[in-house]
Amino acid sequence: PFLNKLAQDNGKLWFGTAADIPGTAEQTDTQYLKILTNNKYFGEMTPANMMKFMYTEPEQNVFNFTGGDYFLDLAEKNGLRVRCHNLVWNSQLSDWVTSRNWTAPELTAVMKNHIYNLVGHFGGRCYSWDVVNEALAGDGSFSSSIWYDTIGSEYFFLAYQFAQEAVEQTGADIKLYYNDYGIESPGVKTTAAYNLVKELQSRKIKIDGVGLESHFEVGGTPSVAAQVAAKQGYIALGVDVVVTELDVRFVQAPFYTAAGEATQAQNYYDSVASCMKVGPGCIGVTVWDFVDKYSWVPSSFPGQGGATIYNDTFQRKPAFYAIGEAL
């Protein structure tokens, strides 16, 4: 099954993937690239790292767009759209940001300059930007971060205000998103995400969509009904929803048993089906890479793995076919 073609034909949505390119083995892996760049499989790609702060502004006000431009060139050559990721996050920051005691006005200026430069440089080549990434803690409060701890909760609204100004400067139609995990089913954190959207709207600040990361564990994903309900909640506010980083990891080996892969396939099916079920407001499903050997899981969660839809030798797993069924 051609997953993106099915997604477009049957759901008017995209099926996409993250890719960690350039500067990695993937960049020259012909088997990998053949699948990635086939628009029938993927209609969207998200840079797993190359647009993050530490890569794009390694020294203060010294910008490096090489990686991001390479990524966009690759996507455009093959007809894939790009969700640009991300502008303001607490992780993968440059040392010059984290190693100083900033005043609130100083750090606000840093944030503004970063947002203006990235949005300005990449412009309309980005379908959307994840403006703030992972701002919320499990209890629905703002997480501790250099941004929050220095500027306070206003950092969040300022980030979107600066992004909106920067988008207006480009003259392009660039969507602005909030992206987080743990907001894929009803609960306190999901309610907090609704409230962030509402607060932006009441301040007349641009917010176009919410990204539901959907990093799940095999056998532990929310039900289809729960995923549908959460998505409908965002859509009712008038914003789009994207499943932005879907993967379903085994928390311990073995990763390749028939029973385990069957459960994983059902888990992938449920997330994709929830997007299909809510109708036009769910506009895409993106997996966080598609082959186990390039998944972020083993390095970020030691001992865990098997999270994607192709095994290490590019064999399709049951999850691949289950997605085809869901679409």
Give the active site residues.
134, 245
- Least separation in angstroms between residue 51's CB and ligand XIL is 10
Give residue number: closest CB to ligand XIL: 296
- What does the per-residue mask of binding to ligand XIL show for 152-191, with x meaning CB under 6 A? ----------------------------------------
Chain positions 284 to 303 lying near ligand XIL, rule: CB under 6 A, are: 296
Secondary structure in 3-state letters for 205-251: CCCCEEEECCEEECCCCCCHHHHHHHHHHHHHCCCEEEEEEEEEEEC
Find the DSSP H helices in the chain. 3-11, 30-36, 53-56, 66-77, 95-98, 104-122, 146-151, 154-170, 188-202, 224-236, 258-278, 297-300, 318-326
Name which position in 6, 45, 48, 291 contacts ligand XIL (CB under 6 A): 48
Query: Which lies closer to ligand XIL via its Cβ, residue 133 or residue 150?
Result: 133
- Least separation in angstroms between residue 291's CB and ligand XIL is 13
Cα separation, 249 vs 147, in Å, equals 30
Q: Is 133 in the site for ligand XIL (CB under 6 A)?
A: yes
- Least separation in angstroms between residue 6's CB and ligand XIL is 26
Note whether 4 and 41 are within 8 A (CB). Answer: yes
Query: Which lies closer to ligand XIL via its Cβ, residue 102 or residue 250?
Result: 250
Cα separation, 47 vs 49, in Å, equals 5
- Least separation in angstroms between residue 105's CB and ligand XIL is 28
Q: Is 267 in the site for ligand XIL (CB under 6 A)?
A: no
Q: Is 205 in the site for ligand XIL (CB under 6 A)?
A: no
Nearest to 180 by CA among 166, 165, 191: 191
Note whether 275 and 11 are within 8 A (CB). Answer: yes
- Least separation in angstroms between residue 215's CB and ligand XIL is 6
DSSP state of 315: P
Q: Is 90 in the site for ligand XIL (CB under 6 A)?
A: no
Query: Which lies closer to ligand XIL via its Cβ, residue 235 or residue 287?
Result: 287
Q: Is 214 in the site for ligand XIL (CB under 6 A)?
A: no
Cα separation, 106 vs 147, in Å, equals 11
**Residues making contact with ligand XIL (CB under 6 A):** 20, 48-49, 133, 213, 245, 296
